[in-house]
Amino acid sequence: MADLITHLSTTDLSVPRPSVASVSEVTCGFTCWRPRFLRRYANPKIFVAIFSLIATMRSAYFVYMIGVMSTLEKRYAFPSKLSALILIADNISGMVMSPVIGYLGTKFHGPKIIGWGTVLVGLSSIVSGLPYLIYGPATHLLSAETLGIKSSSSLNSTTKYDLCSLSGKPETCQDADRHTFVVGAYALLWAGSFVNGLGNTAFWVVGVPYLDDNVEKKNSPVYFSTTMVIRYSGVALGFLLSSFSLSLYENPTITVNIPRNDPRWVGAWWIGFFIIGFGILLSAIPMFMFPVTMKSNKKQEAKKKMSFTDALATFKRIITNPVLVFDTLGGAMRVIGWAGYYITKTRYIEAQFRQSAAASSFLTGSTSSVLKVIGIFAGGLAISKFRPRPKVLIAYVVFIEMVCNVFILAGIFIGCPAPKFGNIIVDQNTAKASLLNGCNRDCSCTTSVFQPVCGSDGKTNYFSPCYAGCQVSLTNESYSGFSQCLCQSEMDHSVTSGYCDQECNTLPLYLTIIGLAGIISSTAWAGNFIIALRAVDPKDKAFAMGLIGSCMAIFAYIPYPIIFGFVTDAACLVWEESCGETGNCWLYDIDKFRVYLHGTAFTLVMIGSCFDIGVLVYANRLKNLYDDEDDDVQTGKGNHEMSGANGIKAEEEEALFDASQTKSNCNHN
């Protein structure tokens, strides 16, 4: 009898219960430190808040880079083609690492992968600001007078760069202050972008499937729309921060006597990189505290069991999925068109509407970002409320893209008249412009510095006082001009600094048209996102996101900066040249620029819409956009296993937590 009692007391007579994740997999904390008060934060809403915060800072970094790129070109003397290589560096690393990180995301702690990726993004932003600390501010574009200094042997004189020298003194190429391509600065900018790609890949490839796996499908559109809306505040932050930084001179402690829209102005481009970098590093800390999963279900266990052989089988399923293939190709073309347009938009507004770099960044950020936030949020709410059938949702996406194409095309016809420049002769065969003619041929002028001046007729501009043939500077505290100008009429041989006044009031109309295109197109973003996620089996989601990331890098993110870099450079009239080296573009043919930019964007987005029609043809293959039940049946999970937001019974969580406190390796008693 005693033996029987002993046997019964040591025998587990409880009813078998479904397996659940360990406490470390479903609760918040660092390693073994997982206090009770943090358990409530292991839910999708808190994750979305932290995920969106990181996305905001990450977007701010990329957009800030775009906002200051024209200034970087001017400061370190490189053309838009080389700018494109900086912008694609992150996509090169992302292309290589996306499948690897997608595979690792199925086997290891997802939030920690996201956290370390975020740390890399923060460090890359700081690296991008290092050229200023290493090479210091520019002095080669400004004379002692424009810096408010009466005399300085270390600065270029006004005569050297600005005035006509009939003595024919050649340019001194050994001068340390001359404007040349700074290889070291360019290398740091490229390296920062490359490292950013590694972190960015981990963030999206692992983060999006993690979020989708831990929320109900019917709520996915709202969660993703919320994430994109908050993320887009980063776009606004990036442009506004670049506008603020560029409104300051590169060395904020120096007072310069030129306006911000003067081509020689170099803003404090470096400030934002450090602000954003440290902000990203701080926002990464909470991400490390999230658990492996906020749901205890078979899907997570199935993901962890994925082997290399499974990865090959998954790869085959994905590349033979017509919905996903057409959706990816369509998305790639849309990205090339829209992203290429937006990285060029600030430079275009500078050239077309004669705005400063700071004003262009502000206008781009304030119009594009705010309106798109409204569209994204409205689109997500509409999908969650009305739950349109796959074919209806895809048809809406196609229709929206077609409408937006009309707005893009309209941009070709909205602009300002091209400013009249004296002495510019364009070779129709080579499209190169010559600034030399009889009146300035002996002046030894260069295009090292762009300092436009207005002729005495009030209509004709000249590239610089030298190209106007001016030999005497009349610049003082109240007036900036030049006299004895050989290219002027006999009655008045003087010119004034700056462009000639030219009335143009089309900027508000242009911003309105492009703003409407942005808000309308953004209503389809949540739909595009849901289609991509639902086109694959739940177990293939993380790997599919990694593969899509690589495809987008190859077909979209790498090509678009290159394509639009060539588009931008093709519209250039006058290049910076110093001692046989070509740097940045000083002056654009704004009529060509307008047609090339909008025509290219229109063509690419239209091709993307054609691929979306292919998605529409196969729309019937999408069966389960909004319900979780089908996935639960596939993984053998009943509804009775789920309870509460975290998908684990309260009593099981308590038992797991208590057990962890007594059996954890952290207990050293």
Residues of the chain scoring pLDDT < 70: 1-42, 102-108, 139-162, 167-180, 217-221, 292-308, 367-368, 428-431, 477-478, 490-491, 542, 579-580, 626-669
pLDDT single digits (tens) 119-154: 999 999 999 999 999 988 876 666 544 544 444 433
CA-based max dimension of the chain:
128
| The pLDDT of residue 14 | 40
Which domains, from first to last, does the chain contain? 39-141+179-292+310-418+504-621 (1.20.1250.20), 149-173+420-501 (no CATH)
Dihedral of alpha carbons 112, 117, 121, 126, sign: positive
| The pLDDT of residue 138 | 78
| The pLDDT of residue 278 | 95
| The pLDDT of residue 425 | 79
pTM: 0.74
Burial (Cβ within 10 Å: 0-12, 13-18, ≥19) of residue 644: exposed
d(CA 172, CA 526): 58
pLDDT single digits (tens) 478-490: 677 888 888 887 6
- Count the neighbouring beta carbons within 10 Å of the beta carbon of residue 367: 21
| The pLDDT of residue 563 | 93
Burial (Cβ within 10 Å: 0-12, 13-18, ≥19) of residue 532: buried
- Which tokens is 76 given? 């370190």
Dihedral of alpha carbons 486, 491, 497, 501, sign: negative
Give the chain's count of helices (H) and strands (E). 22, 9
| The pLDDT of residue 10 | 44
Q: Which helix (H) or strand (E) holds 453?
A: strand 453-454
The DSSP symbol for 622 reads: -
SS3 state at 317: helix
Q: Which amino acid is at 474?
A: L
* Cα separation values, 5 from 43, 66, 415, Å: 44, 77, 94
- Which tokens is 623 given? 């069966």
The DSSP symbol for 367 reads: I
The DSSP symbol for 433 reads: E
